[in-house]
Amino acid sequence: MNTKSISLPKLNNLNPTLESTALKLMEEAGELSAAIGKFRSLSGEKVTLDQQEITNAISRELLDVAQTAITMMFVLEEQWDVDLAEALSEHMNKLIKKGYLTLDMND
């Protein structure tokens, strides 16, 4: 199975809640969408950045989304007693059941 793993920190100078992280996640998703929109000139503006600058901006916003998702996972575990390992197992089973992931016997 091909995977990509990243480690992102628990932010220790914030006091996030479920609501604040949910709003932040939507804000960051919007910024990611805006960066992609610029790349494709979806806003109608003339694109003045080169492709490298745009893909760098997209990558930065994608990592903001990931960081916020990680922060929300810490909130769920620490404030709402969620077992994310169990949720991850259910998630993997869902991907298989939907046909998005097949497990090769050699994996």
Cα-atom radius of gyration of the chain, to the nearest Å? 17
**Minimal distance, residue 38 CB to Mg ion, in Å:** 14
- Is 64 a binding residue for Mg ion by CB under 5 A? The answer is yes
Give the residue among 84, 76, 75 at the shortest CA–CA distance from 16: 75
Binding footprint of Mg ion, residue count (CB under 5 A): 4
- Is 29 a binding residue for Mg ion by CB under 5 A? The answer is no
Q: State the Cα–Cα distance between residues 70 and 93, nearest whole angstrom.
A: 21
- Is 36 a binding residue for Mg ion by CB under 5 A? The answer is no
Return residues touching Mg ion (CB under 5 A): 28, 31, 61, 64
